[in-house]
Chain A
C-alpha cells in the first residue's frame, strides 16, 4: 500500500473534467485507489465518488493505492495532479 498527500493545483479544482480524466487513468491499473479528504474516503475509481469530493484549488488530498501495480498507478496519478490535469488556464 502506498499513501501520498497532494495539493490540488489547478484553478477549477477537481471538477467534472479532471474527475473524468482521473477515473479514466485509475481504470488502467489493477490496484485499488482511494482518496481521503476531510475525513471522507471515496473510491477513486467511481466517477460519482470523485465528483462528490468537491475538491477545490488548494485542497489537500490523501491518495491511497493498494495492489500489484500500485507504484505505477501512484506515479501516473500524481503526475496527472502535478500537470493540473492539462488545463490550459
Chain B
C-alpha cells in the first residue's frame, strides 16, 4: 500500500530526464473479458474501436505473414493467411456489429462470444487437426481483443502519465509513445533493456530495474521519476517536488551547454588525453554514441543478442552483427565482451544454482562450452578486418582462465587460417577485472593480455560482499569505500607497470563525483552510457593531471566512504561549479533517517 510518506526507490536510469506526474499502472494479463453495457450514445465509438482493432490486427498479421513466407515458405504461411481472412470475414463481423448495436454490449465481450461459438464446434471435431485449428482461431480472437483493449488504454492516457509496469516490451513502449507519456518506471531491468533503448530514442525518461515499484504505487499516485540518477520518489513532499523541478531545469540548461563540447577532445587542461567511450548492448545504440561526438565503444555486451531466444546464435549471425557494429563504430574502436551469462543476466537455463553470483557465469560458462566460445571468437575475428575490434573476457578469476581463453583464440585463428578466411591477427585481447582475486593478481594477468577493463559493479559487490539487489544491505554498496579505491589504484598501477592501458566500464566510470579521482589514479579510458559522455568530458577538461593526482592521493588517505565522497564533491564543485550535482538527492542520502547503521 502507498502511504502518504515519501518513499525513494533506486533503480537504473535508462533514459535521461526528470518528470513529475501521476502514475498509470499498466498490468499485463491474459485478456480478461468482462461483460459490460455500453450506453446507446457510445455504441458508434465502441464499433469504431473494434474497426481500428481489427485493422491493427490485420497489419500485425500481414507483417508476420511476410516474415513467415520468407522463413517457412509459402504453403505453411497460409495458416496466417487464414487468420487474416478471418479478420476480413464479413459474415462474422456483420453479426458481431449487429449484436453490439442490438445488445449494447462491449466489443470484446461480443467478439469473444461470437468467435467462441465457432471454436466450440471445432473442438467437437474428432479430427485432431481440426481441434488444433481451434487454437489458430483462439490466436486471432486474442489478437483482436488485445487490440481493442489497447485502443481503450490509449484513450485513458489523455493528460499524460508516468507508466509503471513490471516490464515493458518494445511493442508496449511504442504503443505508449503514441500518446503523451511522461515517463516509464519498471520493476525489471536488463532483459527488457530493449524497451529502455527505445525510450531513449523516443526521449522519454525511464528508470528500470526498480524491483518492486509496482507494489509501491497505484494509478493516480504522484511520483517523481529521475532518469539521470535512476530514482523514483513516491508521494514526494512539496519541498522535494520543488527541488526536483529546479534540478530538472538545471539539467536541461546544462545539457544544452554540454552540446558545445561535442567535438572537443577529452583531455585535461595540461593536455593528457583520456579515452572516452560508451557502453552499448544493441546495434541501435551506436548512433546515440555518435550523436555525442566521435567516441568509440568501450563495452559492447554481446549477450544482448541472446535476449528472447533459447539457443545461441550461429557463427554467421554473430559475424553479421559484429561486422555491422565494427563498421558503424569505425574509425573508432569497439571492445566486444564475450557472452556474460549467468548471475543476474537471465538466460533460459535448465539448471538452478543456490548462489548464482558465485556460480556458473561469464567465462566459466563459455570455457566449459568451448563450442560456444569458438563460434563467438571466430565470428569476432572475422569481423575484425578493419582492425578496430578488441575482445575481452568477463568474470576472469585466475591466470589459468586467461590462458585457456587465449588457447581457444589461437585455435579459432588456426581454423580460420586453414579456411583461408581473413581476420586481424593482432586483435587486442583484454580481461575484465571484476573478481577480487583477479584484482589481486592484476599484475600477472596484465602480462598475458593487451588491456584491462575494470567492471566496478561486480567488483564492488564481491569486494564488499554486498548484493546491491538486497534492500537490507544495499546501503553498504559504496563505490567510494576506501577498499574499493585501493583496489582500483592497485589494478591501474600493476597494468601500467606492464605498459598496458586500463579502462573502466562499470557505473562508477559514469559517476561525475568519481571522475577527478579516476583521472588522478591514471585511468586511461572511461566507458559510460552514451548520454553521460559530455558531462564526464566537461569534468576531465576542467582539471590538470597534476591536480587530479593530488586529489586522488588525498582521497586515498581517508578511512571512510563518507569522508572520501564529501571531499570529492567539494573538489568537483570547486572545479566545475555549473555541474548540477545530485549530491543531496543522490542514492545514498535520500533514504532519510537510518540510512546508515
Contacts and interface: CB of A to CB of B under 8 A. Distances in A.
B82, B92, B124, B125 pick with most chain A CB within 10 angstroms: B82
A15 B129 contact: yes
B115 A48 contact: yes
B136 A16 contact: yes
A56 interface: yes
Nearest to A16: B82
Given A45-B90, A48-B86, A20 B78 contact: yes
Interface residues of A, number: 20
B41 interface: no
Range of interface residues on chain B? 20 to 34
A40 B75 CA distance: 29
A54 B137 contact: no
B122 interface: yes
Contact of B127 (A13, A23, A49): A13
B88 to A, nearest CB: 8
A49 B91 CA distance: 9
A52 interface: yes
Interface string A36-52: 00001001011111011
A17 interface: yes
A12 interface: yes
A62 to B, nearest CB: 17
Interface in B67-102: 75, 78-79, 81-82, 85-86, 89-92
Contacts of A74: none
Interface string B110-123: 00000100100110
Contacts of B90: 45-46
B130 interface: yes
A54 B131 CA distance: 9
B406 interface: no
Nearest to B115: A48
B133 interface: yes
B89 A12 contact: no
Contacts of B78: 16-17, 20
A17 B73 CA distance: 14
Interface of B: 75, 78-79, 81-82, 85-86, 89-92, 115, 118, 121-122, 124-125, 127, 129-130, 133, 136-137
Interface of A: 12-13, 15-17, 19-20, 23-24, 40, 43, 45-49, 51-52, 54, 56
17 contacts: A12-B129, A13-B127, A13-B129, A15-B129, A16-B133, A19-B82, A23-B85, A24-B85, A46-B89, A46-B91, A48-B86, A48-B89, A51-B122, A51-B133, A54-B121, A54-B130, A56-B130
Given A52-B121, A54-B130, 11 more contacts: A13-B129, A15-B133, A16-B79, A45-B91, A49-B91, A49-B118, A51-B82, A51-B118, A51-B122, A54-B121, A56-B130
